[in-house]
Structure 1
Amino acid sequence: MLHPDFLRLPVAHRALHDRAAGRVENSRAAIRAAIAAGYAIEIDLQLSSDGVPVVFHDDDLDRLTDRTGPVAARTAQDLSTIPLTGGDETIPTFAEVLEIVAGKVPLLVEIKDQTPFTGDLERATAALLKGYDGPVAVMGFNPETVVRMAELAPDIARGLTTCDYSAEDWPHLEEAERARLREIPDYDRAGASFLSHYHRDLDRPRVAELKAQGAAILCWTIRTPEEEAQARTVAANVTFEGYPAAIPS
């Protein structure tokens, strides 16, 4: 089950990043800042070409570095030398981040979808989490990711990252598949205990149904106190960025 601190401490989206302050998303500096502020942390994992989980959101390097092309085409050593644009750091490995966090605050790990799905990122993630001492949970948009984590690391809390699956944001999926995923049909199969749902779609009946059945409802990504107040009419907690979310006393 999800550790109660995941419902108490607001979750810093891609850690407490602030480009103006030199803290790039998913960077060591952003992670350390979130720990210092007392927030839970959300990070993203991609897989290097040699099978090492690295902390990076996008499939490609273009937006956040001065390099181009897929993260998955480069080794972990190569990735560790690539500067993040807007800061003075390089791309961290998941192992490094686990050493930095070290159980000080809850860590919410989004395992990014890999095409084709092989389970390699899930296996590497589970191996690194073995013996980790601290509140941790994993989630993903791909239900197969969460199902695989149930097999590999059954004692770690699991959730589904979900949304309204609009055609604009998910053009690579057929409408029939988008419609299926909107109804979150894989929750029980994945042995999930929570959702992290798109905050503008929290009024979906299926979300209310799962909440009534005991699912913890988190949401993403909140960017103002007003959005947070609205989201909390449904969600137990928020994933936020761009403003200092209040920590309950």
Structure 2
Amino acid sequence: MPKFPYNPFDSSVGFGRKFIQWINNVLKDIGSDLKENKARVDNLIRNAPQPSEVVDLRVDADGVEHATAGDRITKDYDTLTSQYVYLTDTVDIQVKDINQKILESKRSFAFGYEFEHIAHRGFSGVAPESTIAAFIEAINAGFNSLETDVQISADGVPVCIHDDTVDRTTNGSGLVKAKTLSQLQSLDASKLKPYYSGAKIPTFEEYLEVCKGHCKYIYPEIKSYRSQNDISLIVDLIVKHGWETKCIIQSFRYDDLRIVRNLNPSITLGYLLGDLSTFNNALDKIKTDGNGIILSEYTFMLNNPSLVEVARKEGIDIAVWTVDSAEIIQRLKKIGITRVMSNYKNVGW
């Protein structure tokens, strides 16, 4: 049997397709040899006397004696032909199964990443969202990465808070960008989780310091600012703390991401979206830029699973938000999603 000339672990080869082509060629060669041998023996038998020793040639492997050696060879040939058909059908089924497993493996571990669980605003299901307590709880719970929202205070300091106002999450009221850092940090950010009384709105730099040595990636989202010039304040801190190659900076405002790229070539841009037209727009921008991922609302991906393969063919990864169901996470895994944001850790990850 000739040696299979390809490495089955080399995904660039197309293992399943190459393997079935190779085995078919080998079997065709065997079939061709059988035909030639049969014709040659038939010719000898037809043109030569049949002494008693030819009887041995008429007996097959099962001990059945045939009228002529030619009949016995015909029977052997037909048996081998049936085995050939069975073998090719079996190999075809097995190769399809191999290809399916390879596809599932590629979907699950695209780009060499293991599944990544991202703490949405920290461990916000347990601690006050986007506070140091939430970030530390997320790390202790085993989240791989931390997401947070970033806004700029009235005196130009990046801080971690989701809403444009402080009303929902603190005991204060008013716009974040209208308050100084001192005013923001005088507020109690435990409004939604009162047993963390005294929690403060942290600075973005404090978030970066907590993440150091504990996070695979950081996922800051650009929210409210005084002007687009403030984006440089966020980028400067990312670079200062050495996160530029482990940072996915997110935004729904793609002009903000363009500014990030003009400021730094290494930071990965995260395009937030939830519909098809925005997906196509983001895909085009990432293909042009060469360093970005899609961050989608999860139901959009579940309803449009083919888009995962569309993105992957371009070398573009997808993360989804915000999933707190073990059943949904399993469904996302099956379509190839490798990055998921959650408010809780015990959701079957």
Query: What range is the shorter-chain TM-score in?
Result: 0.7 to 0.9
- Contact 2:231 2:256 (C-alpha < 8 Å) held by counterparts: yes
With over 3 angstroms needed to count, the CA separation of the structure-2 counterparts of 1:34 and 1:5, relative to structure 1, is farther
Task: Find 1:110's aligned residue among 218, 221, 232.
Answer: 221
Shift in Å at residue 183 of structure 1? 3.1
Shift in Å at residue 107 of structure 1? 1.4
Shift in Å at residue 18 of structure 1? 3.2
Does the alignment pair 1:69 with 2:174?
A: yes
- Contact 1:138 1:158 (C-alpha < 8 Å) held by counterparts: yes
With over 3 angstroms needed to count, the CA separation of the structure-2 counterparts of 1:136 and 1:5, relative to structure 1, is farther
Tell me the TM-score normalised to structure 1 length: 0.81
- Contact 1:113 1:141 (C-alpha < 8 Å) held by counterparts: no
- The 5 Å alignment of 1:10-49 reads 10-19=117-126, 23-39=127-143, 40-49=145-154
Give the strand-richer structure, 1 or 2.
1
Does the alignment pair 1:216 with 2:327?
A: no
Aligned to 1:193: 292
- Contact 2:152 2:224 (C-alpha < 8 Å) held by counterparts: no
Does the alignment pair 1:145 with 2:252?
A: no
Q: Percent identity?
A: 25
C-alpha deviations, 1:136-192, integer Å up to 9, x for none? 22111110111111111211122111113xxxxxxxxxxxxxx85353344345554
Instruction: Point out the more displaced range, 202-211 or 231-240.
Output: 202-211
Q: Which amino acid aligns with 1:184?
A: N
Q: Which amino acid aligns with 1:11?
A: I
Partner Cα separation in structure 2 for residue 223 and residue 229 of structure 1: 11
Corresponding residue SS for 2:219: strand
Task: Find 2:157's aligned residue among 48, 52, 63.
Answer: 52
Larger Rg: 2
- The 5 Å alignment of 1:157-236 reads 157-164=268-275, 180-185=277-282, 186-188=285-287, 191-202=290-301, 203-204=303-304, 208-232=309-333, 233-236=335-338
Shift in Å at residue 37 of structure 1? 2.2
Partner Cα separation in structure 2 for residue 189 and residue 213 of structure 1: 11
Task: Find 2:201's aligned residue among 79, 91, 94.
Answer: 91
Q: Which amino acid aligns with 1:16?
A: F
Q: Which amino acid aligns with 1:221?
A: T
With over 3 angstroms needed to count, the CA separation of the structure-2 counterparts of 1:191 and 1:49, relative to structure 1, is farther
- RMSD over aligned Cα, in angstroms? 2.3
With over 3 angstroms needed to count, the CA separation of the structure-2 counterparts of 1:7 and 1:139, relative to structure 1, is farther
- Contact 1:46 1:121 (C-alpha < 8 Å) held by counterparts: no
Aligned to 2:240: 131
Shift in Å at residue 194 of structure 1? 0.7
Q: Which amino acid aligns with 1:24?
A: P
Stretches of structure 1 that go unaligned for 5 or more consecutive residues are 165-178
Larger relative CO (CA 8 A, sep 6+): 1 or 2?
A: 1
Q: How many residues align?
A: 225
- Contact 1:161 1:196 (C-alpha < 8 Å) held by counterparts: yes
C-alpha deviations, 1:207-232, integer Å up to 9, x for none? 54223211111100101101111222
Partner Cα separation in structure 1 for residue 112 and residue 141 of structure 2: 14
With over 3 angstroms needed to count, the CA separation of the structure-2 counterparts of 1:137 and 1:72, relative to structure 1, is same
Aligned to 1:173: none
Partner Cα separation in structure 1 for residue 112 and residue 241 of structure 2: 16
Corresponding residue SS for 2:205: helix
C-alpha deviations, 1:113-156, integer Å up to 9, x for none? 55x8x323311101111132353221111101111111112111
Corresponding residue SS for 1:144: helix
- Contact 1:113 1:145 (C-alpha < 8 Å) held by counterparts: no
Partner Cα separation in structure 2 for residue 112 and residue 188 of structure 1: 24
- Contact 1:150 1:191 (C-alpha < 8 Å) held by counterparts: no
Q: Which amino acid aligns with 1:236?
A: T
With over 3 angstroms needed to count, the CA separation of the structure-2 counterparts of 1:7 and 1:13, relative to structure 1, is farther
Q: Which amino acid aligns with 2:255?
A: E
